[in-house]
Structure 1
Amino acid sequence: MSPTPLRPLARAGVVLAAVLTALVASVVAATGASAHVTVSSADATPGGYGKLTFRVPNESDTASTVSLRISIPEDEAMASLQAQEVPGWTITTTSAQLDEPLDAHGQEITSYVSVVEFRADAGGGIAPGRFQEFALSGGPFPDAETLSFPAVQTYSDGTESAWIEPTVEGQEEPENPAPTLTLASGAGATDAATDTAAATDTAAATDEHGHGGPVSNEPAGLALFLAILALVVGLAGVVLGYRAGRRTVSS
């Protein structure tokens, strides 16, 4: 006796389950991808001076982020670079010699700040479910469209997240992308400054002490919950369709 084909309800359940499984996977991937270390600026333009803001979310559920080490490649060297103080963190800088000196207002610059490290004081750091912003100010910025700053995030349990992979235009984002900044110019810089300032004000409002607020994953979390719920319903349809087919055959 040949096997009984699936009834329409069962077939629909199978299709629904496959679609929703893919949806859950995409939501999970999107949620993870949003937790990278990123860099932004409201006023950075080629040849100008400005502020760089690095946003560092804590991806660990059990350990705190205790260090952020930012590298400045030589081809993105700036004659002047300073770090903004962050309560509860110690800042150290490393300098490197330049193969080709920089000219800053008629002065020859032969070395530059190549590494900036923010390290949490004992017992501190970025706790799970929190984020922190670190700022650098400097210039002049190179005459380029984008700048990339490889960064290494260290946790209290000794593990590290190395955000060092270059992002290539036209290709998929790498798993561990280096923080990359697109330099603004002209009127676009003013618009970017307004948008970034508004975003910064919103983030600062989450914590009056300036240590950053909880990372909000509510939209992604809700989408994931609904996708899982729909998947359960779809699988239930498969089971019901199969049982209905069995009863029909038996009768």
Structure 2
Amino acid sequence: MNRSSLARRSATVLAAAATAVLAAAGAASAHVTVNPREAVQGSYTKVAFRVPNEEDKASTSKLEVNLPKDHPVASVSTQPVMGWTVSVEKSKLDKPIKSDDGEITEAVTKITWTANSASKIAPGQFQEFNVSLGPLPTDTDSLTFKALQTYDNGDVVRWIDVAQPGGAEPEHPAPVLTLTAKAADAEPSAAATTPAPETSPADSGDSAGKTETAAADSSDSTARTLGVVGIVVGVIGAGLGVVGLRRRGGSAS
């Protein structure tokens, strides 16, 4: 096998590998997700339910998002999406939510967006649906939003699978919003509680001198490395030139 054939085969293999990697990445990311993925317990936040179209010959015409009943959110509002109508469903709570305005006995448990004929999510496209939530629960570290994605050909994808700790990601994972503790509730780090050691002027000067020396050594090392790389590149270029001349000479003879 000559060099040109080997080069063509290598290029083909690399292209195939790159295509496979990109395809795998696209498949892994083409889920209905909630963004951002994290929020602070007890806070108000805006999230976007991102809906990509995974079909090649159908468009997404409806999205249903279910809010968890076991950890209800008192205030839920939606942002208008052009070409889509939204309906909100409330349910009576088994345990009322206490708020500054008194007890709340019902909360939003389902939001449905429906597209008109001209606003469906076409193949290769995605849409985001913004929702304001708050105050977020303080008695859990995550909220799971089970979602149903309906296509205009009748297919329904149920994004309702819950990932198990330590297990592989399910085929149709439900969107999950991770809830983190407030900064005031977090324990102070060792760096924050340990006082910095005192430094005398002499120590400061010595440290500065060492820093300058280290910077100089690093700069010198970098220069030497670049010099060696330049020499190697020059040698390779010269070798390729010799090979080219020999090939021309061989072709002329």
TM over 0.5, shorter chain? yes
- State the percentage of identical aligned residues: 45
Q: Say yes or no: does 1:129 pair with 2:113.
A: no
C-alpha displacement of 1:123: 3.3
Q: Say yes or no: does 1:158 pair with 2:154.
A: yes
Q: Secondary structure at the match of 2:27?
A: helix
C-alpha displacement of 1:47: 1.0
Q: Distance in 1 between matches of 2:114 and 2:154?
A: 13
Q: Distance in 2 between matches of 1:53 and 1:100?
A: 27
Q: Which amino acid aligns with 2:113?
A: F
C-alpha displacement of 1:34: 1.3
Q: Distance in 1 between matches of 2:64 and 2:52?
A: 14
- Which residue is equivalent to 2:29? 34
Q: Which structure 1 segments of 5+ residues have no match?
A: 1-20, 188-251
Alignment coverage as a number of residue pairs: 172
Q: 2:171 aligns with which of 155, 172, 175?
A: 175
- Which residue is equivalent to 2:98? 103
**Structure of greater Rg:** 2
Q: Say yes or no: does 1:84 pair with 2:55.
A: no
C-alpha displacement of 1:24: 8.0
Q: Which amino acid aligns with 1:141?
A: L
- Which residue is equivalent to 1:63? 58
- Which residue is equivalent to 1:119? 114
Which stretch shifts more, 31-40 or 81-90? 31-40
RMSD over aligned CA atoms reads: 2.8
Q: Larger relative contact order (C-alpha < 8 A, sep ≥ 6)?
A: 1
Render the CA deviation track for 1:113-158: whole Å, top value 9, x for unaligned. 1000111013321111101111110211112221110000001111
Q: Secondary structure at the match of 2:39?
A: coil
Q: Which amino acid aligns with 1:97?
A: K
Q: Which amino acid aligns with 1:128?
A: P
- Which residue is equivalent to 2:39? 44
| Contact 2:60-2:152 at 8 Å conserved across structures | yes
| Contact 2:41-2:182 at 8 Å conserved across structures | no
C-alpha displacement of 1:87: 0.4
Give the alignment's TM-score, normalised by structure 1.
0.62
Q: Distance in 2 between matches of 1:145 and 1:22?
A: 39
Q: 2:67 aligns with which of 66, 72, 79?
A: 72
Render the CA deviation track for 1:141-186: whole Å, top value 9, x for unaligned. 1122211100000011110111000122211110100001112445
| Contact 2:58-2:153 at 8 Å conserved across structures | yes
| Contact 1:80-1:140 at 8 Å conserved across structures | yes
Q: Say yes or no: does 1:146 pair with 2:146.
A: no
Give the alignment's TM-score, normalised by structure 2.
0.61
Q: Distance in 2 between matches of 1:175 and 1:43?
A: 22
| Contact 2:161-2:173 at 8 Å conserved across structures | yes
Q: Distance in 1 between matches of 2:116 and 2:22?
A: 36
